[in-house]
Structure 1
């Protein structure tokens, strides 16, 4: 997968997170978790784009790790939505699968970048 495709994929992930947060129930717990998910989920694409503009290999590694961390955090918030019985598991299955795939891509990119350093 090239960087253009991954930029598009991470942007689509962010847009899906936005739609999910908008659809959450209007209660205090969903609001707090939703805000956290919105922050981490939308930063995935932003941090990947930042990594693509890295000024050095070390800068790339640092920024791709941030994208990795934000993706993992997004998975955590989605798990809380499911385990807290705020959203049904089936409704988040595809989005969590995409987050897991993005996480694997970022992890592999970081490993490769460290080896090539």
Structure 2
């Protein structure tokens, strides 16, 4: 029961891949913000929360119970919400251009990740 707990293995694989790809983009964003804008505080916050999503999704894959799986994915979901907050703050403070394609793509991606996480969590809670 520890592996591939979730509404199906396709969702698990999808969230694993999406969260990893998103983490890579966040690392590149952090690099850009520090090198181009000398912005270290907000960029560090978005780096921490944005990379934590995938780390928690990966930890969930080794869960020994459905309860543990849900708990890890719930943490990932909270980190996704926090990441969205930091991205929004970076936009509102002028460090990111809301109209830029890569910024719109990041926002769309974090919303997609959160929807998938929420779906998996709700499915698991209904099964429990």
Q: Secondary structure of the equivalent of 1:89?
A: coil
Cα RMSD (Å): 1.2
Q: Between Structure 1 and Structure 2, which shows a larger proportion of helix residues?
A: 1
Task: Map 1:1-117 onto structure 2 (within 5 A).
Answer: 1-24=10-33, 25-27=36-38, 30-91=39-100, 92-117=103-128
Q: Secondary structure of the equivalent of 1:14?
A: helix
Q: Which has the higher contact order (CA 8 A, sep 6+)?
A: 2
TM-score computed with the length of structure 1 as normaliser: 0.92
Following TM superposition, the consecutive aligned residue runs of length 4 or more in structure 1 with deviations greater than 4 angstroms are none
> 5+ unaligned residues in a row in structure 1: which ranges?
none
TM-score computed with the length of structure 2 as normaliser: 0.85
Tell me the matched-pair count: 115
> What is the CA deviation profile of residues 44-78 of structure 1, one whole-angstrom value per residue up to 9, with x for unaligned ones?
11100111111101101111100000111110000
